[in-house]
Amino acid sequence: MPSPKAQNIELLYEGSVKRVFQSPYKADRLLFEFTDDYSVFDWGKMPETIANKGLSLVALGAYFFEELSKPQRWSSLASSPHLKKFDKAWLKARFEHPVGIELCQSGAKSHFQDLLVPSGQRIKYKQIGSLNQPVYMEVLKAEVERPVLHHVLGHPLYFYSQRKNVAAPRLVPLEIVFRFGMPSGSSLKSRLERDPDYLRVLGLKEIPAEGALFEHPVLEFFTKLEPKDRLLSIQEASLMSGLNADQFEKLTEFTLCLALALYVIFAERNIELWDGKFEFVLAASGLMLADSIGPDELRLLYKDCHLSKEMIRQVYRGGRWETSIKQAQQLAKERNVTGWKEICRKELKAEPEPLSPLFKAVVDKLYGALTNHVTGHEVFRDQPSLEGFVQSLPAATPVKV
The CA distances from residue 30 to 3, 19, 155, 302, 347, in Å, are 15, 10, 36, 34, 39
Query: Where does the pLDDT of residue 176 fall: very low under 50, low under 70, confident under 90, or very high at 90 and above?
Result: very high
pLDDT digits (tens, 9 = 90+) for 339-386: 899 999 999 999 999 998 888 998 999 999 999 999 999 999 999 999
In a domain, 176, yes or no: yes
d(CA 24, CA 13): 15
Tally of structural domains, the chain: 1
In a domain, 154, yes or no: yes
Q: Is the pLDDT of residue 397 over 60?
A: no
* Burial class of residue 379 in the structure, from the number of CB atoms within 10 Å of its CB (0-12 exposed, 13-18 middle, 19+ buried): buried
In a domain, 371, yes or no: yes
d(CA 161, CA 239): 10
d(CA 80, CA 268): 10
Determine the structural domain holding residue 56 and report its residue range: 11-395
pLDDT digits (tens, 9 = 90+) for 216-254: 999 999 999 988 889 999 999 999 999 999 999 999 999
In a domain, 379, yes or no: yes
Q: Among 36-50, 156-170, 175-189, 341-355, which is the least confidently predicted range?
A: 156-170
In a domain, 1, yes or no: no
Cβ atoms within 10 A of the Cβ of 146, count?
A: 13
DSSP category for residue 334? H
d(CA 357, CA 360): 5
d(CA 382, CA 66): 26
d(CA 141, CA 4): 17
d(CA 82, CA 124): 29
pLDDT digits (tens, 9 = 90+) for 259-304: 999 999 999 999 999 999 999 999 988 999 999 999 988 999 998 8
Q: 330-334 contacts: CB < 8 A, separation 24 or more?
A: none
Position 159 scores a pLDDT of 92
d(CA 267, CA 251): 24
CATH number at residue 291: 3.30.470.20
| CB distance 313 to 185 below 8 Å | yes
| CB distance 287 to 254 below 8 Å | yes
In a domain, 177, yes or no: yes
In a domain, 266, yes or no: yes
In a domain, 2, yes or no: no
